Amino acid sequence: MSGAFQNSMRNLFILLWDEFKGYAKSKAIFVVWVGMPTIVILMHFLTPAQSDLPVTMFTGVLIAIVGGVLASVILGTTMTNEITKSVYTLFLIRPVKRWQLIVSKYIAMMITLIIASFLSFAIGIIIDSIKFSDEISMIPDFFLKNIINTSIADLFIAISAMSVACVIGLFIGMIARSVAVSAILSFYLGQQISTLALLPRLLEQTGALAANIDPLYLALGVGFAATAVFLALGIFIFSKKQF
């Protein structure tokens, strides 16, 4: 690898680590880490005792919506606030590329969401393994096919949806002229657009998805495409901004 590439990656990692430490100390991210698993626990108590449906079947959509909305608003408002306060003027004095600032924010937020998602789904699996202990002892494949496999697929679909919400928040944060406007648009558009990645699973559950189409691969494809488009647009807009 060339020296320029190594320096670029080193700067990106430093920015990423700084962003992640900042998020980890944030009260909003603490709410995400604690709140998302708490939602799963509450779902267990709110689900009728006679229900035959695993808690994790509902976890994916709720986690994607809650985590996606919070991440979109946090990134959107943070971006707008830092731009209006000319924070990036100091950053750009250093040998830092503008795209590195955007990518580091996106990756750092995704890491925090992935941590919260894994905690949430792990709790959901534990709850379901206790709730369906009789079925598991009689039919081991029930646990593997109906709980573990579904949970893993829903986890990746939820992460895909949250990825879209993150880049929407970053994109809005760059074009909004006030923190209030950024918060409103990030909340609404982040929620609406990120549901594109959830549609394949919802269509499957309603029977509207063709049998030969895998909802997981379709959701990942939609999430990746939307993330790539809005992240590229965000980087382009940020590269043209005057600080």
Long-range contact set of residues 6-9: C-beta below 8 Å, sequence gap at least 24:
7/95, 8/97, 8/100
CA-nearest of 97, 93, 71, 243 to 174 is 243
pTM, two decimals, is: 0.88
Mean model confidence pLDDT for the chain = 83
Give the pLDDT of residue 48: 59
Interval 167-210: pLDDT, tens: 999 999 999 989 999 999 999 998 888 888 888 877 777 777 77
Structure-token match 């079947």, residue found:
57
62 burial type by CB count under 10 A (0-12 exposed, 13-18 middle, 19+ buried): middle
Q: For residue 29, what pLDDT band results from cuts at 50, 70 and 90?
A: confident
Q: Is the Cβ–Cβ distance between 113 and 73 less than 8 Å?
A: no
Q: What's the rounded Cα separation, in Å, for the pair 216 and 213?
A: 9
111 burial type by CB count under 10 A (0-12 exposed, 13-18 middle, 19+ buried): middle
Interval 2-28: pLDDT, tens: 677 788 888 889 889 999 988 888 888
98 three-class SS = helix
In one-letter notation, the amino acid at residue 209 is L
For residue 207, count other CB atoms closer than 10 A to its CB.
7
